Amino acid sequence: MSGSLAILDGCGGIGRVLVAEAGLGDYDVHVIDLPRSTTAHPPDVPAIPADATSETDLADATKALPSDLVGLVNLSVFMADNRSVADTGAETWNEVLTGNLIMSYAVARALKSKLCKEASFAMTGSGLGHFARLGYGPYAVAKAGVAAMTRQLALELAPDVRVNCVAPSAVDTAFPRDGTGRSKEDPEMGLDLEVYARAIPKGQVAEPADITGPILFLLSGASRYMTGQVLHVNGGTFMS
- Domains in the chain, CATH or no CATH each: 3-233 (3.40.50.720)
Task: Say what the pLDDT of residue 178 is.
Answer: 52
Whether the Cβ atoms of residue 33 and residue 47 lie closer than 8 Å to each other: yes
Task: Say what the pLDDT of residue 187 is.
Answer: 42
How many other C-beta atoms lie within 10 A of the C-beta of residue 58? 21
How many other C-beta atoms lie within 10 A of the C-beta of residue 217? 17
Taking 60 as the threshold, does the pLDDT of residue 188 lie above it?
A: no
Taking 90 as the threshold, does the pLDDT of residue 238 lie above it?
A: no
More confident residue, 206 or 89: 89
Taking 60 as the threshold, does the pLDDT of residue 171 lie above it?
A: yes
Positions marked catalytic: 139
Taking 50 as the threshold, does the pLDDT of residue 180 lie above it?
A: no
More confident residue, 42 or 171: 171
Range 172-199 average pLDDT: 59
Range 217-227 average pLDDT: 98
Q: How confident is the model at residue 175 (pLDDT cuts 50, 70, 90)?
A: low
Return the closest-CA partner of residue 169 out of 153, 191, 188: 191
Q: How confident is the model at residue 176 (pLDDT cuts 50, 70, 90)?
A: low
Residue 65 to residue 44: CA distance in whole angstroms: 16
Taking 60 as the threshold, does the pLDDT of residue 236 lie above it?
A: yes
Taking 50 as the threshold, does the pLDDT of residue 181 lie above it?
A: no
Residue 132 to residue 232: CA distance in whole angstroms: 15
Taking 90 as the threshold, does the pLDDT of residue 25 lie above it?
A: no
Tell me the pLDDT of the chain averaged across its residues: 89
Q: How confident is the model at residue 33 (pLDDT cuts 50, 70, 90)?
A: very high
Range 90-106 average pLDDT: 95
Mean pLDDT check: name the lowest of 40-54, 152-166, 167-181.
167-181
Task: Say what the pLDDT of residue 177 is.
Answer: 53
Range 21-50 average pLDDT: 89
